[in-house]
Amino acid sequence: MPELNATQGSLLGFLHDGPRTGWDLLQQVEGGLSRFWNITSSHVYRELRTLEARRLIRAGAPGPRDRRPFTITAAGKREFRAWIAQMPGPEQIRFPLLVTLWFGRHLDDDTLMGFLDASRREHEQRLHLYRAVAARVPADDPHTAAVVGFGLAYEQALVGWLDDLRATTRATPAVARLDPSAPPVAVAVSFVECVNRRDSHGLERLMTEDHELRVFDEPPVVGRGDNIEAWRGYFRSFPDYTIYPRAISERDGTVAVLGHTTGSHLGLPDEEERRRTLAWLAVASRGRARSWTLIEDNRPNRHRFGL
């Protein structure tokens, strides 16, 4: 009898917990294992037919929607025990971004940076997912916890690697505006661009060591390090957050930006959020932002800051 392949062995492993329909098995696969082993719906149903033909599983009577539950047989349990006891094969990395990077010299910097930004957002979202999954793993299931732990470590490593790569990619807009002679308006525009790209490294380069973030009457966040952590947390929670400037003015090194946002913590539909205008103040000095302040858009503030 031919040896089980990994998909067949995985299905038998799930069936050890009790009868499952093909749909049930797909839900279990998509609930976790599919992120570590490529199993599609066509794989599942094809391999179920193979396992049934080999009498390693037995189909029950059709239920709702003609779904048939499958039960593992004694022969199936023997085959599974033999399969799971074999040394696992070597892993094979299939990461499309690495292929793109291999030939990255054929891309312009903006396109490559866009790919890196998109990849980071994706892996940041996966990291959040694994954290949520880890919180639901029972304390008496160390094996599933080990797999989820691998997912956490992998995504954390990838996010860090992408951050380093984005920081060293040449000629990003944030780096191009680090000249100490850059005018305050250029610093403010670069700050907005970094926020809209979720570029925490770019923001870090634009901030002074004692940078302050002020949001209305809330206590300020003081210091570059704490501010970067605050922005990273906000980007993780609201990955679509975007600032849309409408008007900019500058007085004595303080730049006022009038505009609106979408994708913020307000949780409003985009059309409704666009109608809520806000103003941001950036105090700039020698090509760096000393502070970033969110204030209300009202007539006194518009008059005061020339908006």
- What pLDDT is recorded for position 52? 92
How confident is the model over 201-242, as pLDDT tens digits?
889 889 999 999 999 988 999 999 999 999 999 998 998 899
- In the chain, where do the E strands start and end? 57-59, 70-72, 207-215, 221-222, 242-251, 254-262, 278-285, 288-296
User: Does pLDDT of 1 surpass 70?
Assistant: no
pLDDT at 171 over 60: no
Q: How many CB atoms lie within 10 A of CB 141?
A: 11
Residue 91: pLDDT band by 50, 70, 90 thresholds?
confident
pLDDT at 174: 41
| Secondary structure letter of residue 234 according to DSSP | H
The answer on pLDDT for 177 being more than 80 is no
Strands 242-251 and 221-222: unpaired
Distances (CA, A) of 275 to 148, 173, 198, 213, 272: 42, 29, 23, 24, 5
228, 215 Cβ separation under 8 angstroms:
no
pLDDT at 105 exceeding the cut of 60 = yes
Separation CA 57–CA 12 (nearest Å): 8
| SS3 readout for 47-62 | HHHHHHHCCCEEECCC
Is the pTM of the predicted complex or chain greater than 0.75? no
pLDDT band at 176 (very low <50, low <70, confident <90, very high): very low
Confidence of residue 7 (pLDDT cuts 50, 70, 90): confident
pLDDT at position 178, please? Answer: 52
For all residues of the chain together, what is the average pLDDT? Answer: 86
pLDDT digits (tens, 9 = 90+) for 20-76: 998 988 888 777 666 666 777 888 889 999 999 999 999 988 877 778 899 999 999
Using pLDDT thresholds of 50, 70 and 90, give the confidence band for residue 260. Answer: very high
Q: What are the pLDDT digits (tens) for 132-147?
A: 888 888 888 898 889 8
Nearest to 238 by CA among 254, 261, 257: 261
